[in-house]
């Protein structure tokens, strides 16, 4: 990262000049090209004007990276739709997909007709009927909108997905589990119940094994929740995410979120699923043998990570066809 990119945007005028330099990138990522890119930048500038910390403190590169991620997901950065939030974190800009944003991502999946998520509060009728035909019954009290500003009285949240086969699948998560897996993002302080509604929705979507690309990218982004995207590697056009540590880590130092042991475990699991799907390894069109990707002396963490994700994607394509 150059010295200029380490600087904050500082003012609305300098932000406009800098972000206009990314117009081509936005146009390439958005459906209607330049038309969508102009609209997208207008919304982005409104957000930056309303959040002076992003102008005065966040590095200009981190702001641009977050906007590129929003464009890649085809989600508006805040604005009227509120699909994704730009959140200052020390001297970085971070991005958090909102509940509304996740709903948009889910509805793009061809295997899903509709989806929704609700909080369950003390005093509401709620029960899950287990067995051969699982059912969820909830009678929500919609009279008190103010209580969504805290966890007080919240029992948990659930998400439902209506599938093309006429089946409604659901996922329930109690408050203790939600608190256990919550991330570091300040979004949990500002929108606690909305963030809690995302947790079962995200788990439910991972179980559906959809191959919708923007949904997969949104789930991957949420896995990095609360951590700034300071550095990145691009291999054959695919972004491999890495993060930086806290402030004491020098700028530009790249640290993969998962340890090599975690990556290797993921490769072994993905390789097993890949073969259970009766897939030919030649379709991967990747150099090296399976064992090479487990050996850190043979392949880098980024290469091993990419191999694991490639295995998973090919397996999910087969699952979606059956």
| pLDDT value of residue 242 | 31
Q: Are 111 and 176 contained in the same domain?
A: yes
Q: Are 88 and 236 contained in the same domain?
A: yes
| pLDDT value of residue 125 | 95
Residue 50 has pLDDT above 80, yes or no: yes
Q: Are 48 and 130 contained in the same domain?
A: no
Tell me the whole-structure pTM to 2 decimals.
0.61
Q: Are 121 and 186 contained in the same domain?
A: yes
Per-residue pLDDT tens for 85-136? 888 888 888 888 888 888 888 888 777 888 899 999 999 999 999 887 889 9
Per-residue pLDDT tens for 229-265? 443 333 233 333 333 333 333 333 233 345 778 788 8
Residue 2 has pLDDT above 60, yes or no: no
Residue 154 has pLDDT above 90, yes or no: yes
Whether 253 maps to a domain, the answer reads no
Q: Are 183 and 279 contained in the same domain?
A: no
Q: Are 16 and 105 contained in the same domain?
A: no
Whether 218 maps to a domain, the answer reads no
Residue 228 has pLDDT above 80, yes or no: no
Whether 251 maps to a domain, the answer reads no
Q: Are 130 and 69 contained in the same domain?
A: no
| pLDDT value of residue 272 | 81
Q: Are 88 and 183 contained in the same domain?
A: no
| pLDDT value of residue 7 | 75
Q: Are 121 and 87 contained in the same domain?
A: no
| pLDDT value of residue 266 | 79
Q: How confident is the model at residue 159 (pLDDT cuts 50, 70, 90)?
A: very high
Contact status, residue 43 vs residue 78, Cβ threshold 8 Å: yes
Q: Are 112 and 55 contained in the same domain?
A: no
Q: How confident is the model at residue 178 (pLDDT cuts 50, 70, 90)?
A: very high
Q: Are 107 and 179 contained in the same domain?
A: yes
Average pLDDT over residues 164-176: 87
Contact status, residue 220 vs residue 309, Cβ threshold 8 Å: no
Range of the domain at 118: 100-212
Q: What is the percent of the chain where pLDDT is above 70?
A: 79
- Calculate the average pLDDT of the chain: 77
Residue 270 has pLDDT above 90, yes or no: no
């Amino acid at each position: 990262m150059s010295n200029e990119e380490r600087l904050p945007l500082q003012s609305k005028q300098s932000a406009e000049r800098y972000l206009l330099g990314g117009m081509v990138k936005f146009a390439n990522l958005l459906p209607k090209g330049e038309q969508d890119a102009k609209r997208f930048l207008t919304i982005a500038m409104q957000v930056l004007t309303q959040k002076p910390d992003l102008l005065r403190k966040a590095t200009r590169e981190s702001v641009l990276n977050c906007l590129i991620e929003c464009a890649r997901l085809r989600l508006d950065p805040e604005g009227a739709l509120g699909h994704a939030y730009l959140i200052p974190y020390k001297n970085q800009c971070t991005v958090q997909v909102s509940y509304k944003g996740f709903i948009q991502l889910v509805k793009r999946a061809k295997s899903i007709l509709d989806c929704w998520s609700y909080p369950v509060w003390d005093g509401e009728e709620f029960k899950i009927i287990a067995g051969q035909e699982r059912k969820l019954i909830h009678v929500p009290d919609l009279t008190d909108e103010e209580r969504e500003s805290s966890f007080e009285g919240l029992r948990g949240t659930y998400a439902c997905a209506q599938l093309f086969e006429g089946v409604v699948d659901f996922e329930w998560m109690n408050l203790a589990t939600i608190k256990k897996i919550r991330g570091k993002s300040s979004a949990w302080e500002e929108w606690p119940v909305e963030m809690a509604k995302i947790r079962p929705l995200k788990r439910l979507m991972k179980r559906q094994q959809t191959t919708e690309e923007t949904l997969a990218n949104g789930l991957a982004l949420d896995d990095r929740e609360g951590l700034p995207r300071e550095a990145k590697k691009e291999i054959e056009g695919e972004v491999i995410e890495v993060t930086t540590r806290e402030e004491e880590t020098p700028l530009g130092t790249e640290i993969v979120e998962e340890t090599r042991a975690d990556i290797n475990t993921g490769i072994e699991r993905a390789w097993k699923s890949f073969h259970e799907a009766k897939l030919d390894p030649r379709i991967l069109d990747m150099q090296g043998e399976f064992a090479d990707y487990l050996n850190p002396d043979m392949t880098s963490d980024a290469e091993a990570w990419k191999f694991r994700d490639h295995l998973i994607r090919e397996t999910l394509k087969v699952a979606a066809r059956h």
